Structure 1
Amino acid sequence: MLALIFGNLKSFRGWKLLVFFSTIHLLLSNCKASEQHMVPNVVVDELIYLNLPSSAPLQSPGGWIYHPGGFRGLLIYRAFFNGNADDFRAFDRTCPNHVNQSCGRVSVLTDNVMTACECDSALFVLFDGTPAAGNRSQPLRQYRVQFFGNSIRVFN
């Protein structure tokens, strides 16, 4: 059948065509459509001043706050990874499993390490938003953060 498509494969041109189409096939078969996140992509551009009393928990590593914005609110976390003072994370509080339900919001647990969905208690790691063991959900929607010394900008 390949001989019908490429002609005489003994010729140099036939081999070049075979290699070309095989390469294209391999490249296209390895391309996957990026999985769309369940949480809607809304415009986020928030400036948070770290010297305000409402942002006091962000002064120390492991501190976090809830902030208006995003789809169902923002969760800002100060990771302070490897001694990097400007290591902040920002997540949408929407639970990826329950986007369209009123209970579909995550809340930080008392251990300050995990967040839980209010609908089904599915756990997410606060450090990076990944689902905890046994949770087959997508991770929390994460936003970009810039540090400016006394403020941070959360945006997408």
Structure 2
Amino acid sequence: MKILKAFDIKELILVFTGVLTIIGCNPTNVNYDIPEPFVDETIYLSDPSSFNLTVIGGQLYLPNAGHGGIMIYRRYYDQAFYDFAAYELACPYDWADGCGILSSSNGDLYLTCGCNSHQYQLLDGQSIDTSYTLPVKEFNCTFDGINIIRISN
């Protein structure tokens, strides 16, 4: 009987891991008005310009990617696929305005919109104000667990 219970727990863990694999580092399933440019970026952690991404909370700004740039943020240090997030830096609501770019400094916990100073959490892209329902647009990203981060849409 104990073997059966242990087997059931192992199955549950396997299913849970599979679900995390499917949903990890995937874009949010929200409709945005922001135009969707083609995104296909490869980042190497061994590159000196990516040094900030070697620690939790590290950020890397890609100014020529996405609509308003892309911010890569290291959420965890588990050497797993979900370690990184890649966010579109066009403000979800004010993207068409000249001030509609999100910004952050290394060590910040938030992205801040240049138009209205509204803030979004870097950990998951959600607004800190519940009256704003759109999160920051998140791109697909994969991490090989060692050196290569791939960002795409």
- Superposition deviation, residue 37 in structure 1: 1.0
Quote the residue 1:96 is aligned against. Answer: 92
Contact 1:90 1:144 in 2 (8 A): yes
Partner letter of residue 153 of structure 1?
A: R
Question: What pairs with 1:11-26 in structure 2 (closer than 5 Å)?
Answer: none
Question: Secondary structure, in 3 states, of the residue corresponding to 2:134?
Answer: coil
In the superposition, the TM-score normalised over structure 2's length comes to 0.72
- Segments of structure 2 that go 5 or more residues without pairing to the other structure are 1-28
- Superposition deviation, residue 147 in structure 1: 0.8
Question: Based on CA coordinates, which of the two structures has the bigger radius of gyration?
Answer: 1
- Segments of structure 1 that go 5 or more residues without pairing to the other structure are 1-33
1:153 pairs with 2:150: yes
Quote the residue 2:79 is aligned against. Answer: 85
Runs of 4+ in 1 over 3 A off after TM superposition: none
Counterpart Cα distance in 2 of 1:143 and 1:78: 14
Question: Using a 3 Å threshold, how does the CA distance of structure 1 residues 40 and 115 change in structure 2: closer, same or farther?
Answer: same
Root mean square deviation, CA, Å:
1.8
In the superposition, the TM-score normalised over structure 1's length comes to 0.71
Counterpart Cα distance in 2 of 1:103 and 1:90: 21
Aligned-pair identity in percent equals: 32
Counterpart Cα distance in 2 of 1:35 and 1:129: 12
1:126 pairs with 2:122: yes
Pick 1 or 2: higher relative contact order, CA cutoff 8 A, min separation 6. 2
Contact 2:91 2:113 in 1 (8 A): yes
Counterpart Cα distance in 2 of 1:54 and 1:111: 17
2:136 to 128, 137, 140: 140
- Superposition deviation, residue 138 in structure 1: 0.8
